[in-house]
């Protein structure tokens, strides 16, 4: 998509409504407000871009809410569902989407920067392609009821993010890698905590990053069967993994590994700039050989994006 003038921004505005009108997101955009946006684009493109970005984020958040509602409905009997309750739920989700959109440092800011870049042909180098970092107070303390978030599904994912955020922040201070990225990597490696590596006695090894116990490791180990890819083919092998006494120790050891191992120097160089993207981080890990799965980067990128979306919902 190329934007070189205010008139082309009006085309984006029209396109956003056309897309939204075909689905549930249509109610999130007021057509009269859209007309005002088209008008303002001609004399104040920057302000119009900001509002347009917020509208896009609203549409996105509403679709996220819809997906969660659909997942919840699939697990329920549906006895209490009817057209009236569905309409009420959609209206409620629309309001949630509006309230969740437009926060500083959120998705709208990223969209606005991209639109500005396409209109003027440039943007600050330190912002190019960056995914916004999670603010220090972005995740509430563990135990916050999901009902207060307006959500009932995704309990395991929310609990995982809450449980590991503090340890991830400490690791971020050591590495510069965004805490949200590390929480997401732990989520991917452990299946959101469902596939944690266990010791021989059945207790948790707390190794949520799947770090193997190489020759340099002198601590306790957990020996388990895992999947490795050899020449692109998945094979079951028995391997030894590091075992820790806490999740904090696991995140601390992960941070040490990333800092001290030469193979991850590329990832650390990206992190030091403060603009490492989700895809760039995931691809850097795969290139360094963190995992043998040829699709590791794509899978991790999706989990990172899911984690960041959850954090956005949780902080609203």
pLDDT of residue 127: 34
How far apart CA 287 and CA 285 sit, in angstroms, is 5
178 and 57 in a single domain? The answer is no
288 and 178 in a single domain? The answer is yes
Domain of residue 276, residue span: 146-195+247-314
Catalytic annotation, residues:
228, 253
> What number of CA atoms fall less than 13 Å from residue 215's CA on the CB side?
0
Question: In Å, what is the CA distance from 66 to each residue of 6, 104, 191?
Answer: 32, 24, 23
Which residues make Cβ contacts (< 8 Å) with residue 278, sequence separation at least 6?
131, 181, 184, 301, 304, 305, 308
**Domain-located, residue 200:** no
pLDDT of residue 227: 80
pLDDT of residue 184: 96
Number of domains in the chain: 2
Query: Positive or negative CA dihedral for 187, 248, 180, 291?
Result: negative
103 and 32 in a single domain? The answer is yes
pLDDT of residue 72: 64
pLDDT of residue 313: 76
Q: Global pTM?
A: 0.53
How far apart CA 148 and CA 158 sit, in angstroms, is 13
Euclidean distance between the first and the last CA atom of the chain, given in angstroms as a whole number: 31
Q: How many residues does the chain have?
A: 316
117 and 69 in a single domain? The answer is yes
pLDDT of residue 138: 37
96 and 45 in a single domain? The answer is yes
**Domain-located, residue 282:** yes
Per-residue pLDDT of the chain (316 residues; tens, 9 = 90+): 444 444 444 454 444 444 444 444 444 445 555 566 556 555 566 666 777 777 777 777 777 767 766 766 655 555 556 677 777 777 777 777 677 666 666 666 777 666 655 544 333 333 333 333 333 333 333 344 444 444 444 788 989 999 999 999 999 999 999 999 999 999 999 999 999 999 999 999 999 999 999 889 999 999 998 888 877 788 888 899 999 999 999 999 999 999 999 999 999 998 888 888 999 999 999 999 999 899 999 999 999 999 998 877 776 6
49 and 89 in a single domain? The answer is yes
165 and 281 in a single domain? The answer is yes
Query: What pairs with residue 212 in β-bridges?
Result: 241
pLDDT of residue 31: 55
pLDDT of residue 100: 66
pLDDT of residue 131: 35
69 and 119 in a single domain? The answer is yes
User: How much is the CA Rg of the chain, to the nearest whole Å?
Assistant: 22
């Amino acid at each position: 998509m190329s934007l070189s003038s205010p008139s082309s921004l009006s085309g984006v505005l029209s396109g956003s409504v056309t897309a939204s009108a075909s689905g549930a997101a249509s109610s999130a955009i007021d057509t009269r407000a859209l007309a005002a946006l088209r008008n303002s684009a001609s004399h104040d493109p920057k302000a119009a871009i900001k509002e347009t970005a917020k509208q896009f984020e609203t549409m996105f958040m509403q679709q996220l809410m819809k997906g969660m509602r659909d997942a919840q409905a699939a697990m329920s009997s549906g006895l209490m569902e009817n057209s009236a309750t569905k309409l009420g739920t959609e209206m409620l989700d629309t309001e949630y989407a509006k309230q969740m959109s437009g926060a500083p440092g959120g998705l709208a800011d990223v969209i606005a920067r991209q639109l500005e870049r396409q209109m003027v042909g440039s943007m600050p180098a330190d912002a190019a392609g960056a995914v916004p970092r999670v603010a220090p107070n972005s995740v509430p303390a563990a135990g916050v009821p999901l009902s207060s978030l307006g959500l009932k599904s995704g309990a395991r994912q929310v609990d995982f993010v809450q449980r590991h955020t503090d340890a991830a922040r400490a690791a971020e201070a050591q590495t510069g890698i965004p805490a949200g990225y590390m929480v997401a990597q732990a989520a991917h490696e452990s299946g959101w905590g469902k596939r944690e590596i266990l010791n021989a006695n059945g207790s948790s090894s707390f190794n949520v990053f799947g770090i193997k116990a190489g020759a340099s490791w002198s601590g306790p180990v957990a020996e388990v069967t895992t999947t490795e890819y050899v020449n692109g083919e998945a094979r079951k092998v028995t391997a030894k993994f590091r075992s820790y006494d806490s999740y904090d120790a696991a995140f601390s050891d992960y941070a040490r590994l990333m800092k001290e191992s030469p193979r991850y120097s590329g990832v650390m160089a990206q992190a030091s700039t403060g603009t490492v993207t989700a895809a760039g981080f995931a691809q850097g890990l795969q290139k360094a050989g963190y995992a043998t799965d040829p699709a590791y980067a794509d899978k991790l990128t999706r989990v990172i994006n899911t984690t960041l979306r959850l954090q956005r919902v949780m902080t609203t």
